[in-house]
Amino acid sequence: MEIRVLRYFLETARTGNISRAAETLHISQPTLSKQIKDLEQELGKKLFRRGSSSVSLTDEGMLLRKRAEDILDMVDKTTDEFKALNNIMGGEVHIGCAESHQIKYLARALKHFKEKYPLFRYHITSGNTEQVAERLDRGLIDFAVIVEPPNLSKYNYLEVPETNTWGLVIRKDDPLAQKEKICADDLTDLDLICSQQAMQADIPRWCGEKTDMLNLSGTINLAYNGSVFVKEGLGYMLTFDKLTNVGEDSELCFRPLIPPLETKMYVIWKKYQVFTPIAELLLEELKTSLSV
């Protein structure tokens, strides 16, 4: 299976049309068709359903698309790393970030670092802790910023100075918005929106056996999307402070939990990881900036 052919496959999947894909790839349509057929023969599976003027992925094709995207991400990242070996003025670093206002510490470090290395470029991938840690394990990113204690058998880490405060995002016209703080009993019978990760770890840590009384109506991994659902009356969102617009112009408000529930944030990287020169320098920058 050649890298070039995987790029052909992905472009065909993206456009859904062999002729358009061939034009984008600057090869002939018969050549592209043959490459796709050869790939199907090599794998022993049909990857596309052929129509009169378009193609669509089979189940096997969708599986290959995911694998091919990961493979090419790794190939491109490796290529960029080798290009950067002799270019200490710049280079690229990939970082996966969970959602938190504490990302400001990462932003400040990157800003200061970029002043010293103007050719430096960063690539941020957002997701929950599980998603970004998985990308770190697979070598697709250099660092991950997570909101749960790191696995010390797998990762080295730096602790971010502040903590994230948990609370409930509520419509301002809701009677519950009149309360200054929210206790576990207030959440009974409410349609709650929260990340799956938090409902498995953080929330049980806060309300203990009362967790079974909570009604998890839906899960989210980005607070902005959850805030839209709250605004539209779908429920109440358990999330960190400072992730949702609750200003005077907003229909929403944030009420902290009582007793307080807080979560630390960490920058992690794999043990024994070999960094590119620019990533090694960024790590030193992070060590300095996060220790202040």
Q: What is the pLDDT of residue 54?
A: 87
CATH of 3-70, one of 3.30.413.10, 3.30.70.20, 1.10.10.10, 1.20.990.10: 1.10.10.10
Mean pLDDT of 221-239: 94
Class in CATH terms, 81-162+264-290: alpha beta
Distance CA 111, CA 155 (A): 25
Mean pLDDT of 251-280: 93
Question: At 51, is the pLDDT very low, low, confident or very high (cuts 50, 70, 90)?
Answer: confident
Distance CA 282, CA 121 (A): 11
Flag whether pLDDT at 169 surpasses 70.
yes
Question: At 143, is the pLDDT very low, low, confident or very high (cuts 50, 70, 90)?
Answer: very high
Question: At 190, is the pLDDT very low, low, confident or very high (cuts 50, 70, 90)?
Answer: very high
Q: What is the pLDDT of residue 122?
A: 95
Q: Do domains 81-162+264-290 and 164-261 have the same CATH topology?
A: yes
Give 110-113 contacts, CB < 8 A, sequence gap 24+.
110/282, 112/285, 112/289, 113/281, 113/282, 113/285
| Terminal C-alpha separation, the chain | 49
Question: pLDDT: is 292 or 12 the higher one?
Answer: 12
Flag whether pLDDT at 292 surpasses 70.
no
Predicted TM-score (pTM) of the model is 0.69
Convert the pLDDT of each residue in 57-109 to its tens digit. Answer: 999 989 999 888 888 888 887 777 676 655 566 789 999 999 999 999 999 99
CATH architecture of 164-261: 3-Layer(aba) Sandwich (3.40)
% the chain with pLDDT above 90 = 57
40 close to 47: Cβ distance less than 8 angstroms = yes
Domain locations in the chain as residue ranges: 3-70, 81-162+264-290, 164-261
Token couple for 261: 């529930």
Give 112-117 contacts, CB < 8 A, sequence gap 24+.
112/285, 112/289, 113/281, 113/282, 113/285, 117/88, 117/89, 117/90, 117/91, 117/278, 117/281
Q: What is the pLDDT of residue 84?
A: 62
Question: At 125, is the pLDDT very low, low, confident or very high (cuts 50, 70, 90)?
Answer: very high
Please provide the average confidence, as pLDDT, over all residues in the chain. Answer: 90
Question: At 53, is the pLDDT very low, low, confident or very high (cuts 50, 70, 90)?
Answer: confident
